[in-house]
Each structure stands twice: as structure tokens, then as C-alpha cells.
Chain A
Amino acid sequence: GQQVMQIPQYQHVQEGEDFTTYCNSSTTLSNIQWYKQRPGGHPVFLIQLVKSGEVKKQKRLTFQFGEAKKNSSLHITATQTTDVGTYFCAGWWYGNKLVFGAGTILRVKS
């Protein structure tokens, strides 16, 4: 079935360190979206990647979509305490169903 695997499940970093979360699908995706959920909050859209090999940046966040459109990553440079939360990738193949990965919980020690 349609699913995206996301690792790691949990990462605890020192403020200023980098952070990366990875997503993988066994089948080719049409697009992949990334969301952030703060503790106690709701998922908030960060970005959508559509093209093979696409790389997009938002300040300290870098998003990549693999050449085969089966994997994606989110990298945060020099984490800050405001980065804490759960980062989800969400894959879309076709139709009206966006499938979320399990999420990576990021904790930042100051």
C-alpha cells in the first residue's frame, strides 16, 4: 500500500547542531510535502517538492527530493529552540489522499 517510512523517530540535539530527517517510499511519489507540528499543536505546512532532484531552502531549512522521487530529506542547520516539534513528511501519489510518515520528534537542548 501507499506508505512513507520516516527516520529517525526521535532526535535530541544541542542548540546549534544540525538535524536531518529522512523519508522513503517504496513507490514513486507524485509529490512530497513537509509539515511541522509543535507540541500540542496541529500540522503546519512547510513546503511541497514536485520535481525529481528538487532542492528548496527556507532560511536554515533545506528540503530535497530524490532523483527517483522515492525519498526526501529535511535538514536544519544550526538548530534553535524554536525548531522543536515533530516534522512529518507526507506523500501524494494520486487521488485525494495525503499519507503522512510517522514523524521525527526534534528536541533541542539550550
Chain B
Amino acid sequence: EPEVTQTPSHQVTQMGQEVILRCVPISNHLYFYWYRQILGQKVEFLVSFYNNEISEKSEIFDDQFSVERPDGSNFTLKIRSTKLEDSAMYFCASSVVNMRRSPLHFGNGTRLTVT
């Protein structure tokens, strides 16, 4: 069964550094998302992306965050200047069509540790 793949599985970075988290969504999916989960807590929406632009973003997704689909397969999340509170598991997800009719398929996540 097709999967969403994320790399790296674990990223350790120093506060103030830039990080890029990478995702390869399922190939025929059109909608892409980033969620994050601080250890033991809820899965929080960050951003959704469709047709090469952001369709929605949360209050968490401030100017330090950006997303990009640089080619036909990758979908990236960049955090410009990481803070300690950015430490979390970041999940990429994709769906065939929008949420009205289609579930989200999540990747295995990237655990980001900011020291």
C-alpha cells in the first residue's frame, strides 16, 4: 500500500538554527498537510497546501514557518529559527481530495529536538 514517507526520522538542532523537514506524499494525492504533536499531547494542525499554495494555516504557523513543494514529489516544512518550544513530532499527511470525502494518510513523523 502506498505510504507517506518522511525524512529524517529524528533531527536534533540548536536553538536559532534553520531546519527543513521533508515529506514525500502519496503520488496521486492532491492535498498536503503538516501537523505536530508535542510529546503525549494532541495532534495540532499547522498548515494545509493545495494547488501550490497554502489553503489554511493555524496560529502556530507564524513567519518562522514556511512550506514548499519544490518538485513533483517532495513537500517540505522549514522552520527558520528554531525555538526550544518547537521540539515535537512533526507529521506530514496527504489526502486524495479534500476532507469532505477523504481521510488523511500520515507519515511516520520526524522527531525534532531543539537544544
Q: Which residues of A contact B (CB under 8 A)?
A: 30-31, 33, 35, 37, 41-45, 48, 88, 90, 92, 95-103
A6 to B81, CA, bound (A): 33
Q: A42-B109, A44-B106, A45-B103 are in contact. Are A97 and B43 (CB under 8 A)?
A: no
What are 13 sample pairs from A and B whose C-beta atoms fall under 8 A apart?
A30-B100, A31-B100, A42-B106, A43-B104, A45-B104, A48-B103, A88-B42, A95-B56, A96-B31, A96-B55, A96-B98, A102-B42, A103-B43
Label chain B's interface by main secondary structure. strand
Closest to A91 in B: B99
B45 touches A97 (CB 8 A): yes
- B22 contacts A by Cβ under 8 Å: no
**A42 near B108 (CB under 8 angstroms)?**
yes
Most buried by A among B35, B48, B100, B108: B100
**Chain A residues closer than 8 Å to B43, beta-carbon distance:** 37, 43, 88, 90, 100, 103
